[in-house]
Amino acid sequence: MIEYNFAYLDEQTKRMIRRAILKGLAIPGYQVPFASREMPMPYGWGTGGVQVSAAVLTPDDTFKVIDQGADDTTNAVSIRTFFERTAGVQTTTATQEATVIQTRHRIPEEPLNDGQILVYQVPIPEPLRFLEPRESETRKMHSLEEYGLMHVKLYEDISRHGHIATSYAYPVKVEGRYVMDPSPIPKFDNPKLGDMAAIQLFGAGREQRIYALPPYTQVTSLDFEDHPFEASKADHGCGMCAATDSYLDELIIDDTGGRMFVCSDTDYCEARQAAGHIGKDNGGKDAA
């Protein structure tokens, strides 16, 4: 049997990440640099999130991993198994039972509580990167609250498309100070970022940044008086559970181009079906 360090990382690395997490919580929305370590998985698999999870987990935790809302993708299963083995944690797919949830690209539909921690895997932590490639310049822009270009870019969307076309990684302002990238969650999830009871931690492995939102932090999506922020919303229900309040994925279900819409949060959808909510593609009548 191989002896691992608890949660794989050595103690000095965990201490360094833990110090970065505390500074991140003290300065909500600010990106704290940290010295990212090699993890036994590729960068695309959320090594930033994995390192943050490794620094916060204790053996008393119940751990859940979701990848685009699903617990059963290869990525989610690998990370879950990794911490079962290295940290001895219990794992679950039920959002309500989890104390630490690592996520890629979604916030669970079920509201989180004050005993929970949500850890995001972040590919590009810098919301200003597409406007300015130089780190020294984006640091300066954040320090001077120079966010005008960001608004110009969003406004160009409006003049070109009649609305703000950005639908993922939609930038937010935290407590009226730092502009933050919420990771590539759909903008449907943006309203859940603010006033959340759980602690939210963001880890970017390749870019070596950690940032955080303490519970009940004020988070607003950037918008304009004449074009207020609108979270996208489907105009039909989930084909499996008839939910009309969840984020839906479009699935191709046969060779003739048949489609159905189903909750991206699989735990939410399955719990609703178990409670007797049946959608139109699942033998029920359309709830919409």
> By the criterion CB under 8 A, which residues form the site for another protein?
5-7, 11-12, 14-16, 18-28, 30, 32-33, 55-60, 114, 139-140, 142-144, 175, 177-178, 199, 212-218
Of 26 and 253, the one with the shorter C-beta distance to another protein is: 26
271 binds Zn ion (CB under 5 A): no
Q: From residue 100 to residue 139, what is the string marking binding to Zn ion with x (rule CB under 5 A)?
A: ----------------------------------------
Of 6 and 155, the one with the shorter C-beta distance to another protein is: 6
Q: Give the binding range for Zn ion (CB under 5 A) out of 69-77, 158-166, 212-220, 266-274.
A: 266-274
Q: 153 contacts which partner out of Zn ion, another protein, none, CB within 5 to 8 A by kind?
A: none
In DSSP notation, the chain reads -PPPPTTSS-HHHHHHHHHHHHHHHHSTT--EE------SS-GGGTHHHHHHHHHH--TT-EEEEEETTBS-SHHHHHHHHHHHHHH--EE-S-GGG-SEEEEES---SSPP-TT-EEEEE-S---TTTTT---HHHHHHHHHTT--HHHHHHHHHHHHHHSS----BS--EEETTTEEE---S-BGGGHHHHTT-SSEEEEEETTTTEEEEE-TT--EEE--BTTB-------SS--TTT--SSS-EEEEE-STT--EEEEES-HHHHHHHHHTT---GGGTS----
Candidates 238, 267, 271, 280: give the one binding Zn ion (CB under 5 A). 238
Q: What amino acid positions are annotated as catalytic residues?
A: 29, 238, 241, 263, 269
Of 50 and 242, the one with the shorter C-beta distance to another protein is: 50
Of 194 and 284, the one with the shorter C-beta distance to another protein is: 194
